[in-house]
Structure 1
Amino acid sequence: MNNKKKKKFNRYTGLLIIMIMIFSLLINEMVTLQMIHGEEYSARANVEFIKNIDYSAPRGEILDADGRVLATSLKSYNLIYVDTTESRKVLYQTIDEVRALLKNSGEDINDKFSLKTDPFRFEFGSEDPDFINKSELRWKKDRGINDYLFNTVLREETGKSKISELNEKETDRLDELILEFSPEETYFYLIEFYKLYDALSPSAEEKKLYDKMSGREIHEELLKKFDWQTIRAYLVIRDSIRMESYQGSKAVTLMSNMKEETAFTFLQQLSKLPGIDVETNPIRLYPYQATAAHVIGYLNPIPAGSQNSYMEKGYDISKDYIGVSGIESAYEDWLRGSKGVKTVEVDKNGRTISELFELGTYPGNNVQLTLDANLQYTAERVLSDLIYEYSQVNTVHRVVGYTQNSTNATRGAIVVMEADTGNILAMASNPSYDPNLFAVPGRLTSEMYKEFFTPDYKAYAEELIRKMNLRTTVNAKTGETRPAVPEDLFRFNADGTVSDFNDIYAKPLFNYATQGLIPSASTFKVITGLAALEEGVLTPNTLIRDDGAYTNDQVGNPITNDGGGAYGNINMAKALAKSSNVFFADVGYRLYKAKGLNAIAEWAWKLGMGYNPEEKPHSTTGLEINENISGNVYNHYSKVEITKRLFMFDVVAFLNAGKARNTGRSFAPIDIGVNRADEEKKALGKEKIKEAVRNAFDISIDDANNYVRQDYAEVVQSLRKAFEEYIAILPEEEANGLESSKFYAEQIAAKIVYDQTTEIISPRNVLNSSIGQGDNQTSLLQIANALATIVNGGTRYKTNLVQRITDTEGNVIQENEPVVLEETGIKESSVNALLNGLRASTLPGGGSYATLKDFPIATGGKTGTGTFKENQQELGRDAFGLYTAVAPIDDPEIVVAVVIYDVTRGAFVVPAALAVFEEYFEEKLKTEYPDYVRQYEYELPEPISSYEDKVEGDDTEADTAADEENETQP
């Protein structure tokens, strides 16, 4: 009985006891969490992660010679988004609210997205096709388009399972497919790739349906709720988030350089905007806007093709800007500051809770230039005024026997430099631009981008044909004249790019002072005179008879004076004053007879006008910023290479045309042109013929000076062998009916030995060079430095734009002293003779007298009118106008060089030098010549201090509205 009453302890009882104990512990822990440590653990739960935040350092300032600030950095406000688990949940709602707040303040989200709509296109900030292709490839690969195309096309074609398994040819094929993948296809691919249907807040079942849709179909669904602009904004931000993920947990900049009041508005709304925050960041400001833009340069985002190298240097490729031209580029490492970093705790909405560590920024160093901002502004303004006058107002110019048209006188340059240091005091290039447009995302509107990088060349050509009243143009392919069409002024390529092969269009970002190559025209006569004096073929007092034309048995057609004048017996000084072609042609022939074909070139090289082609390519000026180092003065070596290069096109056309040399009788054509469809053996056979042609141009300077040609029989033999081998590998149907290899070899050999070589070894080349024509093509900077070298007594200095580099406290880190590149050894008597000639050209009867007659300080100068090509007007071009000048003539301080393209006459650009002289000698004129009235007086505008001030060419609110309208629907 007692056993029955005793409570039985079984497994259920034990389980009950254990459960009671567990629940007791849980209740105790919950009480501890909530009541005792509630606030502490709540804060910990709110921490999403610890992260490092990079802070950009201000770039160093760029100053003019007197300390005026030409480039500086300002504090600005950026709107950022931090991608976290919590903020991601409401991303699209947050974007909508952010855009609404920005719209209320007249601003919008940054749009650095290279894929544009209306029409669909890519914008990579360049006209260079190679750069564009490389950027497009990198951009698309970063977004997985290479994987997509491999999986959908090449996997089956090649049988390979990975991209890494592709061979070189297959890899090239993949790149071709990527480039063929259109902007429109890319847009809809990204709609699908980023699953933008999430903006519709779909259910799980709806997501399954969307996953089966194409990007275009998803887009149609999105359009039922959102407009094009909103969808694109979603795409831009989703893309930015993904690109940032490559660099770790970093913020995405939604808006740069916000207005201060806009920043405060967002700071008040942060609790309602998960992931959104406001940060300060330095931005670049150019207080004098377009002044010295081509010298200073501008900033741009890091291009896709260079991102890896800049990441290795510590740059943030998503938001850091780098100098891409001018001093900003050349002195990037000096100007760039040291970044700061903060280690912070971030809450679930991406905002900083606490700072754990901070390393401050350190500004970049300052670069002080040799430029005088007042002189620079004067040079730019007078150049702009002259270009306006001759392209818009005074455009038709009648000369004896012909009419010229300066409608396309839309570009030019001025260089002002110290004669005895190489320091550049002013360097103007027109057209110009305001670098502020590139300093902040969003300021460069679509219309501005088009003007800078993708202009409407066809519309421009049509307008130019109308303005110049062109009846005919030259067919670029055949060389034949036909009724005027735009396609003859520009080459419209099959890939959509345009080649401005006649250098017609005025390019705002191009520095015409350092990058343009121009004929030095009659300004080169000073160098011809120097060579003659130094080589002893004449003296300053030698008289040469100018009867209006020069010729002899070796030079062919007579060389005449411009306008048909004749000046009788004249010496060097009068020949320079009158710009006598006859005098200098005679001098050129004397030099040829005494020293050979390179007689003038060897002196030009001493002065930095090009260099001996047997040397490695190099700068002859030493300038810090980008320049064209391909300048050339006629010489035997370059003449051979130029003739050879041009003949390679001619020989292909000749063999295709099937018309024999001299007789014109028909023969069976043979094609040796490049054809991508050719099999390797056939392509190699063609190349062997071309190599034999190139080798046939092996003409030594000694043979050329002695008027000795190649051995015709030897040339025939080498060419015949190449033709035999090529014909032997041709299919029977192609080989049948061809002429013998001997026939083709003899035809080409005759053209080389009797036509091309005759041109190469002719002294006519020296005569053309003696008056600044022919193969003479140099930069304006080289022309200026050559004159400076002569007038300072023969010392060629390195040209210099930078005076010194200082730290933020003003301490000098580097001082640039004049650097001598070459002592030419010019005789003092030669210098004096040339100065007398330069002075004579500014006196009555001289080419610049009309403009400079009232200027009280004695100057010297030389005008030049340079032909572009014989049929230049049918190419939309006309003659260059040049002027080189020095002042004071009795003790030269500065040299000025001016060029305006297509202005037709050198005399038209002389006023630019006068304006420069009036500004440079301003104090001397006031004290010594108080009654002199300046003809040109320009006042440097007050600098802007912020982007709230009006920026040249900028109408941000209006342009933003226009862009919004343009992006609504393709």
Structure 2
Amino acid sequence: MKKKKKFNRYNILSIIMLAMFLTIGSKLYYLQVFKGEYYKAEAETINSAKLVTVAAPRGLITDKSGIKLATEALGYNLTYTSTTDTGKDNTQLFAILQKVFKILDANKEVQTDSFPLKINPYRFEFTSSDSKVKQAMLLRFLKDRNIQDSILKSKFEGKKEEELTTSEKTALNNELLKLTPEQIYNKLLVTYDIKNGLSSLNIKATPDVLRRYLIIKDSIKMNFYSANKSINVATNIKKDTSLIFEQSLSDLKGFKVENQPMREYPYGQLASSVLGYISKINSADKAKYAAKGYDTSVDYVGTTGIEAAMESNLKGVNGEKDINDDSVAIIKNTAHNKKAVPGKNVQLTIDANLQYATETTLNSEMKTIQDKGTYGGLDVSNATRGAAVAIDINTGGVLALVSLPGYNPNDFSTTQGLTEAQSQKYFNPDYEKMAKADGLSSLTDYMFPIDKSIKGNTTIRKDKFDYYPKYLYNYATMSLIPSGSTFKPMTAIAGLEAGVIDANSTYDDEGGYDMGGENKIGGPNWNPFTSDGRNGIVNVVSAIRKSSNPFFMNVGQKLREQFGDDILAKYAWMFGLGANPNATSPGTGIEISENFGQVYNTVSQKNLSASQYLLSIEQNLTDGISSSKVKFPPIDLYDRDRDTSIVSDGKKLSEIKTQIKNYIRDSVKNGTFSKSNYVGLFKQLIAADPAYKNQKFTATDINTIVTDIYYLSVQTGHGSLSLPYNMFIASIGQGMDNFTPLQMANYIATLANGGTRYKVHLVDNIKDSNGKLISQTKPVVIDKVGMSTETRALVMQGMNGVTGAGGGTDGTAYAALGDFPIPTGGKTGTAQFTTSEIQNKIGRGDYAWYVGYAPADNPKIAISVVIFDGGYGSDAAKVARGMYESYFKNDPRMKQYQNHYDIKLKKIN
């Protein structure tokens, strides 16, 4: 008989342990097998953090005294970040956006809107005034959004764009450019499934409402390949609004309120011509900036001015932080955080108070001139633009640089986007509408013709006579303007140094000058630039003081007879007025963009004439009418996108056009002309271009075309090169003597300091964010002028007489500066824009110039002032007075001075 097995404590413990292991094992099996994928995803969500960019503050820009002209302010931005939205499921996102937009609207906040496709009316607004650049930006916009895919599929057998030939790529671009803004808008609504996404919400889907959601969806799409990078939904919102969003974030998945540095210009328009502005990185430049380490989805870059020139210094190094993927942005892993490094600070040579005084005085004087309407036989009602520059003559440092009208760079520093009015003002002027508003409708096609040189575009008008102001254009550094009588001291220097005149040389100024030439243009004593009457016997000093045209034309004639046509340029180049055509990258040395003008010389005159007469010929061909008013079928000689894809007899259409244009240039420069070659080329052109398939060109038509080219290129163009007239008008600052106000100021600085031409600069020093000096700009000598002490003294004696500092009251700037307590020297100038007949027709006046230095006995500062359509230099001299008032405000001689100028100067702190 078996004994019953007894349960002892060991057996009981074993049973309990077995039960526990079975329970734990089954639970582990459940967690790992049945719920494994779920918890794996949860673990990844909890433990993995997202890398988010922390924007670095941009460096400060200050004036010479440390006054902050461009700074950073912390702004509250509402951002959205999502790594799960692929653009397919809109239901949840749109429901959240509905809440977001409701909060924004209730608190009068503005949604970020840099999306270039606008509605009401449908249009594109790109941040460029260059039509060709805007066309390139449009193509980039379309291709980034794959608008080309359907065209590639239907017309190019589904090829990828990189597989297309050059001609096929051109054809693709042309097809894309045929799409209207409204068609593109509707395509994007379908692509992003906007209407379906809103169908379940109680929303009235107007075009404006649809576009709000479209902007967000497009930003997500464009940001898709930059994982975890946030997009701005609303920028620089009020603190109270940010708190409302903070309290609602649990219901707004993916949204956060972030503090981000915002560029701020405390004084608005002040010094915009120097500072420039910043903007978002456009799609065409994203690859370039991405290669430099920029976060192209959120970073801003300098676009013009110092902001652009010093971009590499001003731009800080963005930081990074790891955050959990939830609505409250809890920091999960500080080990991976990288602190943002602020940009370097740039201190300028600019004096903010002098800059303010110059801007204010120039603006006031322009308005005064406009109110005159017409005076002295000149229409000055369009005196809407001007520029002024002040330079330290002993360093080349720029103390003031003004271009008016200016702009407020704050308009560009937020991502809210420009308003429609701002966009039109800065980039998209409607010349037809503007002409109508100003009573110029009858002259629209003459003054604002359709720009037929733009490839593939036939509707954009251009301001042919530069009638309207361009707010973003820097008139101080970019405008090439005839210098008029302000060039006469330069002619005096050349004459004295070359020995064709001396202190005792005189000339009887009877009010005109015989220009010479085969037909003695205009007859004896003809001079279109003299309107001041007879000055009598003058020498170099009195000729400068009275601004005698005949005296300086006679100096030009003497120089030409003894040394040839290039002698005047030889001396002018030393003062920075132009440069040898063979020189490499001539310029003043300033850090921001500039054009660099040229003085009359034979090489440059040939090149200029060749370009000018080619333009005239192209226009005649396009209009289908010769210089003698004989009509023929129009011919297009402008470059077009399609030209490279059209081939006839093994020759591209583009090659035929280029060959014809090169022939024309050679005809102007060298007087060469082969009628048979021209006839043959035009026949090739007509046969090659499909546009002429139904056009009938007779032998008479082609003969008319070739004859007109001969008349313009050889008889008129080449024939004008040898006229002594070129030297005569160059001697008084007309003809091809065209310089920027910056060049003119530096020329006067070089004269005033005795002949040292310094490199012009705006940047004084660069420091890091802790104040440590990184670099200091030292004066750089570009050239030393071989000018005798006697020459300088004679020329400055004449210039001192202009203001009355040398005695006498007949100087042309005496009315403006004769009673100024600190003696100054200078020169007025009046320069024609074009022929008086055209000026009168289009309402343009002469340029009003003034250049000068002060004090007269020991110069410290050199200036130049120009007012477009301002009429007379004596008025520009009034701006110089306001500049001197600011610069010399602490001079003891100013203590008893009662400021009788209309502008009360404001001190910038």
Q: Aligned to 1:407, which of 362, 373, 381?
A: 381
CA distance in 2, matches of 1:548, 1:519: 21
Of the structure 1 ranges 410-419 and 355-364, higher mean CA displacement relative to structure 2 is found in 355-364
CA distance in 2, matches of 1:31, 1:666: 96
Q: How far 1:884 moved relative to its partner? A: 0.5
Of the structure 1 ranges 865-874 and 445-454, higher mean CA displacement relative to structure 2 is found in 445-454
CA distance in 2, matches of 1:110, 1:845: 60
Q: How far 1:453 moved relative to its partner? A: 1.4
**Counterpart residue type for residue 828 of structure 1:** T
Is 2:432 the counterpart of 1:432? no
CA distance in 1, matches of 2:622, 2:235: 59
Of the structure 1 ranges 451-460 and 826-835, higher mean CA displacement relative to structure 2 is found in 451-460
Partner of residue 373, structure 2: 395
Q: How far 1:580 moved relative to its partner? A: 0.8
Partner of residue 102, structure 1: 104
CA distance in 1, matches of 2:431, 2:310: 34
Unaligned 5+ segments in structure 2 are 1-18, 452-456, 688-692
Deviations 1:551-592 (CA, angstroms, capped at 9, x unpaired): 154352312663341011101111111111111111111111
Q: Aligned to 1:769, which of 727, 730, 735?
A: 730
Query: Which secondary structure state, in structure 2, belongs to the residue aligned with residue 813 of structure 1?
Result: strand
Deviations 1:410-438 (CA, angstroms, capped at 9, x unpaired): 01011011112111111111111111121
**Structure 1 residues 88 and 187, CA gap change in structure 2 (3 angstroms):** closer
Asked whether the 8 Å contact 1:364–1:807 carries over to 2, the reply is: yes
Partner of residue 253, structure 1: 232
Asked whether the 8 Å contact 2:91–2:198 carries over to 1, the reply is: no
CA distance in 1, matches of 2:660, 2:274: 47
What are the equivalent positions in structure 2 for 1:5-20 lying under 5 Å apart?
Answer: none
Partner of residue 694, structure 1: 665
Q: Aligned to 2:205, which of 205, 210, 226?
A: 226
**Structure 1 residues 286 and 756, CA gap change in structure 2 (3 angstroms):** closer
**Counterpart residue type for residue 613 of structure 2:** F
Query: Which secondary structure state, in structure 1, belongs to the residue aligned with residue 141 of structure 2?
Result: helix
**Counterpart residue type for residue 667 of structure 2:** A
**Structure 1 residues 686 and 119, CA gap change in structure 2 (3 angstroms):** closer
Deviations 1:596-619 (CA, angstroms, capped at 9, x unpaired): 111212222111112222334x24
Query: Which secondary structure state, in structure 1, belongs to the residue aligned with residue 96 of structure 2?
Result: helix
Partner of residue 754, structure 2: 793
Of the structure 1 ranges 282-291 and 672-681, higher mean CA displacement relative to structure 2 is found in 672-681
Q: How far 1:235 moved relative to its partner? A: 0.7
Q: Aligned to 2:164, which of 155, 163, 166?
A: 166
Partner of residue 570, structure 1: 538
**Structure 1 residues 824 and 384, CA gap change in structure 2 (3 angstroms):** same
Q: How far 1:634 moved relative to its partner? A: 1.7
CA distance in 2, matches of 1:868, 1:137: 38
Partner of residue 475, structure 2: 512
CA distance in 2, matches of 1:724, 1:495: 29
Asked whether the 8 Å contact 2:45–2:324 carries over to 1, the reply is: no
Asked whether the 8 Å contact 1:99–1:108 carries over to 2, the reply is: no
Identity of aligned residues (%): 33
CA distance in 2, matches of 1:199, 1:877: 56
CA distance in 2, matches of 1:439, 1:799: 28
Partner of residue 5, structure 1: none
**Structure 1 residues 770 and 66, CA gap change in structure 2 (3 angstroms):** same
Q: Aligned to 2:875, which of 905, 908, 923?
A: 908
Partner of residue 950, structure 1: none
**Counterpart residue type for residue 539 of structure 1:** D
Partner of residue 499, structure 1: 462
CA distance in 1, matches of 2:726, 2:336: 72
Q: How far 1:847 moved relative to its partner? A: 0.6
Of the structure 1 ranges 826-835 and 222-231, higher mean CA displacement relative to structure 2 is found in 222-231
Q: Normalization by structure 1: what TM-score?
A: 0.82
Query: Which secondary structure state, in structure 1, belongs to the residue aligned with residue 481 of structure 2?
Result: coil
Asked whether the 8 Å contact 1:796–1:822 carries over to 2, the reply is: yes
**Structure 1 residues 54 and 517, CA gap change in structure 2 (3 angstroms):** same
Partner of residue 60, structure 1: 59
Is 2:784 the counterpart of 1:823? yes
CA distance in 2, matches of 1:274, 1:427: 50
**Structure 1 residues 936 and 809, CA gap change in structure 2 (3 angstroms):** farther
Q: How far 1:657 moved relative to its partner? A: 9.9
**Structure 1 residues 501 and 729, CA gap change in structure 2 (3 angstroms):** closer
**Counterpart residue type for residue 850 of structure 2:** Y
Q: Aligned to 2:421, which of 447, 469, 483?
A: 447
Asked whether the 8 Å contact 1:127–1:454 carries over to 2, the reply is: yes
Deviations 1:745-785 (CA, angstroms, capped at 9, x unpaired): 78865765544333101110010111111112111100111
Unaligned 5+ segments in structure 1 are 1-19, 203-221, 467-482, 700-709, 944-970
Is 2:813 the counterpart of 1:813? no
Deviations 1:206-245 (CA, angstroms, capped at 9, x unpaired): xxxxxxxxxxxxxxxx997433332211111111111111
Deviations 1:469-522 (CA, angstroms, capped at 9, x unpaired): xxxxxxxxxxxxxx9422222123454323122111111111110011111111
Aligned length: 856
Partner of residue 219, structure 2: 240
What are the equivalent positions in structure 2 for 1:873-888 lying under 5 Å apart?
Answer: 873-888=840-855
Q: Aligned to 1:634, which of 583, 600, 603?
A: 600
Asked whether the 8 Å contact 2:607–2:669 carries over to 1, the reply is: no
Q: How far 1:30 moved relative to its partner? A: 8.9
Partner of residue 298, structure 1: 277
Partner of residue 541, structure 1: 504
Q: Aligned to 2:901, which of 932, 935, 942?
A: 935
CA distance in 1, matches of 2:694, 2:411: 62
CA distance in 2, matches of 1:340, 1:730: 61
**Counterpart residue type for residue 542 of structure 2:** K
**Counterpart residue type for residue 558 of structure 2:** R
Query: Which secondary structure state, in structure 2, belongs to the residue aligned with residue 882 of structure 1?
Result: strand
Q: How far 1:687 moved relative to its partner? A: 5.0
CA distance in 2, matches of 1:112, 1:179: 21
Is 2:449 the counterpart of 1:486? no
CA distance in 2, matches of 1:930, 1:740: 76
Of the structure 1 ranges 319-328 and 127-136, higher mean CA displacement relative to structure 2 is found in 127-136
**Counterpart residue type for residue 51 of structure 2:** N
**Counterpart residue type for residue 166 of structure 1:** L
Partner of residue 432, structure 2: 458
Q: How far 1:352 moved relative to its partner? A: 4.9
Query: Which secondary structure state, in structure 2, belongs to the residue aligned with residue 856 of structure 1?
Result: coil
Q: How far 1:143 moved relative to its partner? A: 0.6
Partner of residue 549, structure 2: 581
Q: Aligned to 1:308, which of 281, 287, 294?
A: 287
**Counterpart residue type for residue 149 of structure 2:** D
Root mean square deviation of aligned Cα: 3.3
Asked whether the 8 Å contact 2:250–2:327 carries over to 1, the reply is: no
Q: How far 1:915 moved relative to its partner? A: 0.6
Q: How far 1:64 moved relative to its partner? A: 0.5
Asked whether the 8 Å contact 2:112–2:417 carries over to 1, the reply is: no
Of the structure 1 ranges 315-324 and 103-112, higher mean CA displacement relative to structure 2 is found in 103-112
Is 2:185 the counterpart of 1:187? yes
Q: How far 1:31 moved relative to its partner? A: 9.6
Asked whether the 8 Å contact 1:65–1:803 carries over to 2, the reply is: yes
**Counterpart residue type for residue 402 of structure 2:** A
CA distance in 2, matches of 1:320, 1:643: 45
Partner of residue 4, structure 2: none
Q: Aligned to 1:523, which of 486, 489, 492?
A: 486
Of the structure 1 ranges 793-802 and 548-557, higher mean CA displacement relative to structure 2 is found in 548-557
Of the structure 1 ranges 41-50 and 568-577, higher mean CA displacement relative to structure 2 is found in 41-50
